[in-house]
């Protein structure tokens, strides 16, 4: 198939491009490179020995997207492009609503115009808000605490409404838990913009000596050791989850959690990283971070039963692969 991957130069998109190319698909990436570099495309090509077709274009500009669809017979779209920093979204809500919502609307509109009926969307476990765990797809969505999360919940609703009005559409909404790790080649991985917000990239930068000490945000949660528990998922498992979703698309909107179903605390992740990479990480316990949940992990049976997909890589793989990429990353 000819798959258009929006945001394909980014962290999750680039790994998914590798999986798609390895499955024999043709990949057309559209990315404005606002949070990525063209070099990633070269690296995808190097890993797979294939060639991605690349367009530097902004999805908020509908006419540009129209031109791309007119040049290629697109069979399906995987829509990763979006801004994702929770903190920045609180400071600049307009930027987030505009970028994330207008991009989704434009892409869906162009799909309708060209009769492209297969659509996979990147959502987030953040849409569950402070709901019960494990998070199961049938839960009612609670308001999230930030504009970023709201753009995901809104995009989900937009896709549901458009799909109700157009029964030919097949939409898969994938709610990611906490993606970490990198491709085993060490060529592609997560490159945070400035000081990382998320735990794993922060840990790898402490390990590299770029940052002196890790701050553990609170040890007084009602969890096994008092620190926050998350469902970390290897980015290559996530990539393979997209291929499975694409292969299983059926008419209507279908929502799947992509996680491992297992929770790991901050202290457990630190210990696993130290063991896997024979490195000591210095850390200190500090205050809780505003807006953090005690615990989040996925109920994964729907993805297994309907997509035949299950995460295969463990915490050790995640820690080793994340560190290999950080060591190789010359920035």
Write the interaction track for ligand UD1 spanning residues 244-273; mark x where CB under 6 A is met and - where it is not. ----------------------x-------
Beta carbon nearer to ligand UD1, 21 or 233: 233
The two structure tokens encoding residue 64: 């540009």
Neighbours of 170 (CB within 10 A): 19
Beta carbon nearer to ligand UD1, 36 or 126: 126
DSSP collapsed to 3 states, 160-229: HHHHHHCCCCEEEEEEECEEECCCCCCCCCCCCCCCCCCHHHHHHHHHHCCCCCEEEECCCCCCCCCCCE
Residue 2 as a binder of ligand UD1 (CB under 6 A): the answer is no
User: Strand pairing of 170-176 and 252-258?
Assistant: parallel
Catalytic residue among 11, 96, 128, 148: 148
Residue 210 as a binder of ligand UD1 (CB under 6 A): the answer is no
Residue 13 as a binder of ligand NAD (CB under 6 A): the answer is yes
Write the interaction track for ligand NAD spanning residues 63-92; mark x where CB under 6 A is met and - where it is not. -----------------xxxxx--------
Partner whose footprint covers residue 15, from ligand NAD, ligand UD1, none (CB < 5 to 8 Å by kind)? none
Beta carbon nearer to ligand NAD, 10 or 218: 10
Minimum CB separation of residue 256 from ligand UD1 in Å reads 16
| Beta carbons of 34 and 84 less than 8 angstroms apart | no
Beta carbon nearer to ligand NAD, 122 or 300: 122
| Beta carbons of 20 and 3 less than 8 angstroms apart | yes
CA 111 to chain centre: 22
Burial level of 220, CB count in 10 A (0-12/13-18/19+)?
exposed
Residue 154 as a binder of ligand UD1 (CB under 6 A): the answer is no
Collapsed DSSP state (helix, strand, coil) of residue 281: coil
Residue in 25, 175, 183, 230 binding ligand UD1, rule: CB under 6 A: 230
Rounded distance between C-alpha atoms, residue 21 and residue 242, angstroms: 12
Residue 124 as a binder of ligand UD1 (CB under 6 A): the answer is yes
Q: Please say if 148 is a catalytic residue.
A: yes
Beta carbon nearer to ligand NAD, 279 or 293: 293
Residues 78-117 close enough to bind ligand UD1 by CB under 6 A? 86
Residue 310 as a binder of ligand NAD (CB under 6 A): the answer is no
Residue in 3, 4, 10, 77 binding ligand NAD, rule: CB under 6 A: 10
**Residue count of the chain:** 331
Rounded distance between C-alpha atoms, residue 174 and residue 300, angstroms: 12
Helical spans, DSSP H, in 23-146: 39-48, 62-71, 86-91, 93-96, 103-113
Q: Which residues are catalytic?
A: 148
Give the residues lining the site for ligand UD1 (CB under 6 A): 86, 124, 126, 149, 178, 197-199, 202, 214-217, 228, 230, 266, 289, 291-292, 296
Write out the residues near ligand NAD by the rule CB under 6 A: 7, 9-13, 31-36, 58-60, 80-84, 99, 103, 122, 124, 176, 179
């Amino acid at each position: 198939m000819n798959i258009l991957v929006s945001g394909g130069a980014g962290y999750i998109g680039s790994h998914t491009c590798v999986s798609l190319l390895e499955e024999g698909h043709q990949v057309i990436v559209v990315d404005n490179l606002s949070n990525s570099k063209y070099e990633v495309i070269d690296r995808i090509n190097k890993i797979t020995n294939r060639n991605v077709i690349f367009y530097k274009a902004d999805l908020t500009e509908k006419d540009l997207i129209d031109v791309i669809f007119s040049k290629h017979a697109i069979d399906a779209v995987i829509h990763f492009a979006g801004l994702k920093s929770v903190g920045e979204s609180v400071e600049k809500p307009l930027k987030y609503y505009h970028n994330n919502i207008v991009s989704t609307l434009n892409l869906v509109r162009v799909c309708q115009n060209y009769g492209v009926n297969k659509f996979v969307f990147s959502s987030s476990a953040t849409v569950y808000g402070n709901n019960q765990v494990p998070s199961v797809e049938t839960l009612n969505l609670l308001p999230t605490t930030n504009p970023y999360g709201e753009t995901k919940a809104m995009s989900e609703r937009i896709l549901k409404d458009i799909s109700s009005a157009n029964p030919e559409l097949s939409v898969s909404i994938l709610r990611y838990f906490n993606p970490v790790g990198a491709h085993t080649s060490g060529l592609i991985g997560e490159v945070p913009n400035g000081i990382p917000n998320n735990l794993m990239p922060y840990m790898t930068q402490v390990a590299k000596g770029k940052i002196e000490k890790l701050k553990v945000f609170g040890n007084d949660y009602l969890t096994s050791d008092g620190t926050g528990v998350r469902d970390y998922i290897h980015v290559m498992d996530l990539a393979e989850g997209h291929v499975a979703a694409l292969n299983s698309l059926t008419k209507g909107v279908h929502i799947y959690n992509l996680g491992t179903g297992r929770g790991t605390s901050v202290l457990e992740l630190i210990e696993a990283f130290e063991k896997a990479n024979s490195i000591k990480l210095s850390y200190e316990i500090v205050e809780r971070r505003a807006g953090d949940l005690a615990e989040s992990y996925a109920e994964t049976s729907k993805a297994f039963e309907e997509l035949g997909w299950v995460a295969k890589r463990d915490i050790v793989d995640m820690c080793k692969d994340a560190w290999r990429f950080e060591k190789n990353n010359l920035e």
